[in-house]
Amino acid sequence: MNVLGIESSCDETGVALVADDGGAAPRLLAHALHSQIDMHQAYGGVVPELASRDHIRRVLPLTRQVMAEAGLALADIDLVAFTRGPGLAGALLVGAGVACALAAALDRPTLGVHHLEGHLLSPFLSADPPEFPFVALLVSGGHTQLMHVAGVGDYALLGETIDDAAGEAFDKSAKLLGLGYPGGPALSRMAAFGDPAAFALPRPLLHSGNLDFSFAGLKTAVLTQVRKLGSNVCEQDRANLAASTQAAIVEVLVRKSMRAVRDAGTRRLVVAGGVGANSELRAQLGAACRKERVRVHYPELALCTDNGAMIAMAAAMRLRSGRAQPAHDYAFDVRPR
């Protein structure tokens, strides 16, 4: 069974083909990605209308590329999966529309996938996939959640952010520091030259006793420091503030993840979503997990941020688990929120 996956929730168009031939796990045959970063950079953030238009331009060429790489014809596709949400409504509609049109033309079923479930199951695309059950830290631009994952579709929310997501904290702080979009990688690069102890920034909800997060206060603290430094701020100050911001976000994520793992009584942690690409987070989590003898799994670096492979994989895994109901009517909808 060959599953085509289409991701178009935000600023990356991703298409991929996953095969499930009854082996240990479905496997990735090919994937292609187009990032709109260069296009949105001039505006300092994602412009939804431009994003939708660019998805339209890219999705079919990427689909052709994936089929060619896999050495298969469109007729070899058995199911077309797409990101149903959350994301930008117009952007989601492009992926959903193309997926349903293609499926209708091929007389195949479709499956709408939750974007976060795609991230959550993306480590199964790696050479060293996790085993169930595990605790997952989902850290993207829109979400920060800790989950207990007993199996495919069997998810319990342990805690989440009550305001900004971790990725948002990176992005907004980066903006305050005058760094470009996307802010996370930019702030992380600058932080490499700074002293993480230079500024005392808050660690919100670190001692709250639960597994919830809050990052809005951190952004305000960064703004206060930026104002204090004023216009004659030097490069070293900016690097120090970047490093201190990153240290605050990473410390909270690491401490809460380790507490979640301890509470759940499991020895496996999965980290997924764009912020999972952050090297300081990986280093700190790695150290904490070694100390507590917890195994930590990540998706391949290239599959941390949005991509079609995770959508095809999530669809294939849901089908396998018997939890999915593929649709045959091609009357699609999207769920932006």
**Stretch 4-43 residues interacting with ligand KG4 (CB under 6 A):** 10
**Stretch 77-136 residues interacting with Zn ion (CB under 5 A):** none
Q: What are phi and psi for residue 96, nearest 5 degrees?
A: -65, -45
Pick one of 36, 83, 140, 245: the residue that binds ligand KG4 (CB under 6 A): 140
Question: 166-176 and 235-264 are packed helices; what angle lies between their axes, rounded to 10 degrees?
Answer: 170
The least CB distance from residue 196 to ligand KG4, in Å, is 14
Is 274 annotated among the ligand-binding residues? no
User: Which residues fall within 8 angstroms of residue 231, CB to CB, at 6 or more apart?
Assistant: none
Pick one of 14, 306, 310, 318: the residue that binds Zn ion (CB under 5 A): 306
User: Which residues fall within 8 angstroms of residue 262, CB to CB, at 6 or more apart?
Assistant: 292
Residue 230 zone, left/alpha/beta (φ > 0; ψ -120 to 50; rest): left
Is 148 annotated among the ligand-binding residues? no
Is 140 annotated among the ligand-binding residues? yes
Q: Are 62 and 311 in contact (CB under 8 A)?
A: no
Q: Segment contacting ligand KG4 (CB under 6 A): 42-50, 163-171, 261-269, 289-297?
A: 163-171
DSSP for 9-31?
SSSEEEEEEEE--SSSS-EEEEE
In the 8-state DSSP scheme, what is residue 161? Answer: B
Q: Segment contacting Zn ion (CB under 5 A): 37-45, 56-64, 105-113, 140-148?
A: 140-148
**Stretch 255-314 residues interacting with ligand KG4 (CB under 6 A):** 273-275, 277-278, 305-306
Which residue, 110 or 278, is less far from ligand KG4 as judged by CB?
A: 278
Residue 61: CB atoms within 10 A of its CB come to 13
What is the Cα Rg of the chain in Å?
A: 20
Question: Which token pair is 179?
Answer: 């760094």
User: What string marks each residue from 257 to 296 as x (binds Zn ion by CB under 5 A) or -?
Assistant: ----------------------------------------
Query: How many Cα atoms sit within 13 Å of 98 on the Cβ side?
Result: 26
The strand pair at 27-35 and 12-19 is best described as antiparallel
Which residue, 46 or 67, is less far from ligand KG4 as judged by CB?
A: 46
**Stretch 141-160 residues interacting with ligand KG4 (CB under 6 A):** 141-142
Q: Does 13 contact Zn ion by CB under 5 A?
A: no
Pick one of 140, 144, 245, 266: the residue that binds Zn ion (CB under 5 A): 140
Which residue, 110 or 188, is less far from ligand KG4 as judged by CB?
A: 188
**Nearest Cα to Cα of residue 19 among 77, 98, 94:** 77
Q: Does 244 contact Zn ion by CB under 5 A?
A: no
Residues contributing to the site for Zn ion (CB under 5 A): 140, 306
List residues binding ligand KG4 (CB under 6 A).
Answer: 10, 119, 140-142, 167, 170-171, 182-185, 188, 273-275, 277-278, 305-306
